[in-house]
Amino acid sequence: MLKTFWTYIKKHPVTYTVVTVFAIVSSGLTLVPNLMIQRFIDAIVDQTLNKESLWLNLGIFLVSIICIYVVDVIWVVSLFGQSFKYQSELRREVYKKLLHLRTPFYERFRSGDLMTRMTSDIDYLGDTIGYGFMLIVSNITWTVSILTIMIVTTSWKASVVSVLPLILFGFIVFKLWRKIDVLYEDNRDTVAKLSNEVLEMVDGVRVMRAYGKKELEQTRFQKRTGEVLEKANNLVVYNGAIGQVAKLLTGLSTGIGLTYSGYLVSQGQMSLGQLIAFQIYLGMLSGAVWGLSDIVLVYQQGNVSFRKIQELLEADDDLEKEGASPIETIEQIEFQDYVFNYPTSESVILKKVDFTLKRGETLGIVGKTGSGKTTLVRQLLRQYPVNDSGAIRINGRLIQDYDVSSLEGLIGYVPQEHILFSKTVGHNIRFGNDLATEELMASAIESADFSKDLTRMTEGLETLIGEKGVSISGGQKQRVSIARALIREPDLLVLDDSLSAVDAKTERAIIDNIREIRHDKTNIIVTHRLSAVAEADNVLVLENGLVVEAGTPEELLNQKGWYYDQYMTQQMEVK
């Protein structure tokens, strides 16, 4: 962590030079008022105080106070301003990293944990490089300055004696260092787990109510909060212990220093003014020691957060290195005896899948639940590493040769889970193409058969749909997602079971619209309803990752296999 901070500091030499210099100047200026008090008291005791010396001491005292204020404002504002900039830069860097990571990464990290890292952990790092830097520079320079002035202007004997308990304090803090680090990490991880619980509760609140599980979930949540409280209390005990030890030993330092300095006054080795100044210096030194104890706590908290953020920045999604070749159009897609298994599993999901899809064709993919349909289309989206067994080719080249961003720009994907943003209907549709014209927007809405729904919404396109589209129906969510994909005008449109929540009439209208506006582009429709692929150019039937049937809908009906049986079952259900 310190190496990373030092690298950042070197990138901003002007700011941190100003901060360091002004902090040192402030530490020196802070001693001036006490020196004036010492001279003032000694002059009274020695009966040498006159009008000129009084006004001189008072003038120097007031000027030094004003200078301290101005200097402190400059360096504190500069330091914490740079600290907030550091947090902002770090958040952008981590966010950019998260946007580029694929599915395997998000299978390892839960949402609540990521939220904690993006918020609290970055805040703690900002505090470390801001408040921590301030403590180091100001308190170390302050401590050195105070000890120096105490030795030079009061008594070196009393100064040495009063510092001995503070050395013992430093030893105790060093011993508690590692224990506090463990407690901070334990407390932070417990808070992250609680965040995960809250996110799941918010997402599933309607299910909990429907199943009457509110009391059970409340009990579980209380258990989690109890764990957080227990970990926090453990941390407070150690933090409090350091504080109380600091209070005890600084008090002991003050007591020993005053007792011994009082003895030196009685022996004529210190003046009364020196004794009073020495007492003030001891109070200031105690404050500096309190600041130094805070350094330990801030450092440990920052060190734990640094490890969490660094873990994100160094994380990988196990995908191959991106290709460099751009791609402008998708003319042909080929799966050649392709085999796939998830990185975290040894079981094979896709087994020697082989087919060719040309531009302008529509491919239907059907099969039982868990047969590998969604896994197959995800290979085109490069969400998982490409397996070495077999090949996926686009326009005759291996898919991994292409630049991922370039390939993504040609694909419109409507997943099973319809991810919508808590903004307006219009924002969610335009997310597919923020440069779309009004005509293209209207065409996409009409093709998704969403026009009638839109007229019934009070604010039209400006209607807020709530978090994850909570205020609209499942069918409306699907059609908003389809409109978002269509407005993109992609070379390849992938509908992954995206019509399950609409009625047969609406499904028919959407399919007909897609056929009309995308007759010269490629489409893949994954579905359980065979009516959605009744006019597809080819249909694949998957079972346990194998293509067990392939051909046009008419050919599959003639084969009287799974497709035929499913077709007859669905026809009877319609009747």
- Render pLDDT for 165-193 as a digit per residue (tens, 0 to 9): 877 777 777 677 667 767 777 777 777 77
Strand residue runs (E) in 454-551: 492-496, 522-526, 538-543, 546-551
Q: What is the pLDDT of residue 211?
A: 65
Q: What is the pLDDT of residue 181?
A: 67
CB 172 within 8 A of CB 252: no
Cα–Cα distance measured from residue 479 to residue 186, given in angstroms and rounded to the nearest whole number: 45
Q: What is the pLDDT of residue 365?
A: 93
Name the pTM for this structure.
Answer: 0.71
Between the ranges 21-30, 123-132, 357-366, where is the mean pLDDT highest?
357-366
How is residue 356 annotated by DSSP?
A: E
Which has the closest alpha carbon to 28: 135, 185, 113, 149? 149
Cα–Cα distance measured from residue 387 to residue 375, given in angstroms and rounded to the nearest whole number: 13
Reported as a single tens digit per residue, the pLDDT across 5-29 is 888 888 888 888 888 888 888 877 8
Residue limits of CATH 1.20.1560.10 in the chain: 74-314
Q: What is the pLDDT of residue 358?
A: 93
Phi, psi of 332 (to 5 degrees): -155, 140
Domain 414-489: which topology? Rossmann fold (3.40.50)
CB 469 within 8 A of CB 420: yes
Tell me the mean pLDDT in the region 388-412.
89
CB 377 within 8 A of CB 430: no
With a CB cutoff of 8 Å and minimum separation 6, the contacts of 474 are 418, 501
Between the ranges 210-214, 262-266, 319-323, 359-363, where is the mean pLDDT highest?
359-363
Per mean pLDDT, which range of 233-237, 306-310, 454-458, 551-555 is the poorest?
Answer: 233-237
Residue in the block written with tokens 């003032």: 40
CATH of 74-314, one of 3.40.710.10, 1.10.110.30, 3.10.560.10, 1.20.1560.10: 1.20.1560.10
Cα–Cα distance measured from residue 476 to residue 132, given in angstroms and rounded to the nearest whole number: 51
Task: Collapse the DSSP code of 539 into the 3-class scheme (helix H, G, I; strand E, B; otherwise coil) and give the result.
Answer: strand
Per mean pLDDT, which range of 239-243, 364-368, 387-391, 450-454 is the poorest?
Answer: 239-243
Reported as a single tens digit per residue, the pLDDT across 64-75 is 889 888 988 888
Helix locations, 46-155, DSSP H: 51-100, 103-108, 111-116, 122-127, 133-134, 140-153
CB 355 within 8 A of CB 541: no
Cα–Cα distance measured from residue 531 to residue 440, given in angstroms and rounded to the nearest whole number: 27
Give me the half-sphere count of Cα atoms (radius 13 Å) on the Cβ side of residue 448.
28
Helix locations, 267-391, DSSP H: 272-314, 373-380
DSSP tally for the chain: helices H, then strands E: 21, 10
Q: Read off the tokens for 373.
A: 């349909």
Residue limits of CATH 3.40.50.300 in the chain: 414-489
Reported as a single tens digit per residue, the pLDDT across 473-495 is 888 888 999 999 999 999 999 99
How does residue 279 score in pLDDT terms, banded at 50, 70 and 90? Answer: confident
Which has the closest alpha carbon to 502: 482, 516, 487? 482
Cα–Cα distance measured from residue 466 to residue 451, given in angstroms and rounded to the nearest whole number: 20
Beta-strand relationship, 332-340 and 391-394: antiparallel
Angle among Cα 263, 267, 270 to the nearest 5 degrees reads 75
Burial of 371 (0-12, 13-18, 19+ CB in 10 A): buried
Q: Read off the tokens for 528.
A: 């359980």
Secondary structure (DSSP) of 384-423 = SPPPSSSEEEETTEEGGGB-HHHHHTTEEEE-SS----SS
Secondary structure (DSSP) of 262-287 = HHHHHTTSS-HHHHHHHHHHHHHHHH
Burial of 139 (0-12, 13-18, 19+ CB in 10 A): buried
The secondary structure element, H or E, covering residue 334 is strand 332-340
Task: Collapse the DSSP code of 216 into the 3-class scheme (helix H, G, I; strand E, B; otherwise coil) and give the result.
Answer: helix
pLDDT at 523 over 90: yes
Task: Collapse the DSSP code of 473 into the 3-class scheme (helix H, G, I; strand E, B; otherwise coil) and give the result.
Answer: coil
Cα–Cα distance measured from residue 492 to residue 497, given in angstroms and rounded to the nearest whole number: 16
Neighbours of 207 (CB within 10 A): 9
- Is 508 or 110 the better-scoring residue by pLDDT? 508
Q: What is the pLDDT of residue 205?
A: 67
